[in-house]
Amino acid sequence: MMSDAIERFNRSLAPADREICALLATEIDRGLPDAESKIWHAHPVWFLDGNPIVGYSRLKDGVRLLFWSGQSFDEEDLRPQGTFKAAEIRFTSAEQVDRDDLARWLRKAVEIQWDYKHIVKRKGRLERLR
C-alpha cells in the first residue's frame, strides 16, 4: 500500500507527472510487497532491509525511475547513473511505462542487490549482497 507521504508527493506534481508517478508507485508496491517505502532525500524510495532498491524523482525532462543496483541487471533500457551501480530510465508519459519490463526489473532488484546501506561505513566501497 502506498505510503501517505508518497501519495502527497505524487499529488504535488503536474497532472502528467502525477499519472506517471502514481503508476510507478502502484507497480513498485505490487512488485515489492515486503519493501518499506518513504520519502528519502525528497523523493519516493523503496527499501529492503534498510537498503535502497528503487525510487523515482521529477526532473526537468520527465520522471526518472532509478534502481540502485540497476547496472547489474543486464537490461539495455536502463542507463548507468552516477559512479556506483545505479541505472535509470526516464518517462515523459505514463504510456511509456512498460509494466512487464518494470515487473522484471523489480524481480531483479530483489535478486541483485549491492549494499548501499553500509556504503558510508565502508568509505564508499560497495559490496554485493545477492
pLDDT digits (tens, 9 = 90+) for 17-29: 999 999 999 999 9
Q: pLDDT digits over 30-46, tens only? A: 999 999 999 999 999 99
Q: Where are the beta strands (DSSP E) in 1-130?
A: 36-40, 43-48, 51-59, 62-67, 79-80, 87-91
The residues with which 58 forms a beta bridge, in sequence order, are 63
- Which pLDDT belongs to residue 113? 77
* Structural domains for the chain: 4-111 (3.90.1150.200)
Judged against a pLDDT cut of 80, whether residue 121 lies above it is answered with no
44 contacts: CB under 8 Å, gap ≥ 6: 5, 6, 9, 10, 21, 25, 37, 38, 55, 56
Model confidence band, residue 126 (pLDDT cutoffs 50, 70, 90): low
- Which pLDDT belongs to residue 124? 60
Counted residue by residue, the chain has a size of 130
pLDDT averaged over the chain?
A: 90
Q: pLDDT digits over 69-112, tens only? A: 999 999 999 999 987 899 999 999 999 999 999 999 999 999 98
Over pLDDT 90: what percentage of the chain? 78
SS3 (DSSP) at 68: coil
Match 502527497 to its residue by C-alpha cell. 8
The residues with which 57 forms a beta bridge, in sequence order, are 64
